[in-house]
Amino acid sequence: MNASTEKIATNLRKGVLEYCVLALLGRGEMYGLEIANELMARELSASEGSLYPLLARMKSSGIVETRWEQAAGSRSRKYYSITVQGQQQLATFETVWNEIRGQVDGLLGGHHG
């Protein structure tokens, strides 16, 4: 990937990362490293470093909530889950994403009509 392609990809990922996190949490609660690994495996995020500040902002805005769990023989883990408000935002994002995707695909696909 050249520098220009990488810049565009990075900007797009940043714009949708919060909603990707909400989509993951819509499947069930996860701890931070699980979320980071899932995003990195899908090439949606490059590092944990940007994820934790995002999760903190998402908690502050009320779209995710957290709980601590102590696993036997290991350190405590902070689990994240989506709130009702987060589910509403995810549903709205999905609607908007589908509209925008169709509009962009239409432009990129050439002339129609």
Residue pointed to by tokens 């432009």? 107
Question: For the chain, what percentages of helix, strand and coil (3-state, to nearest 5) are there?
Answer: 60, 15, 25
User: Domain boundaries in the chain?
Assistant: 3-108
Architecture of the CATH domain 3-108:
Orthogonal Bundle (1.10)
Question: What string of pLDDT tens digits covers the 113 residues of the chain?
Answer: 788 888 888 888 888 999 999 999 999 999 999 999 999 999 888 677 889 999 999 999 999 999 999 878 888 999 999 999 999 999 999 999 999 999 999 999 865 54
Distance CA(79)–CA(55), nearest Å, equals 11
Question: Which tokens go with 38?
Answer: 């899932």
Distance linking the first and last C-alpha atoms of the chain: 34
Query: What pLDDT does residue 111 have?
Result: 55
Q: Rounded to the nearest 5°, which phi and psi values hold at 63?
A: -100, -15
H/E stretch holding 2 reads none
Torsions phi, psi for 31 (to 5 deg)? -95, 165
The letter for the amino acid at 20 is C
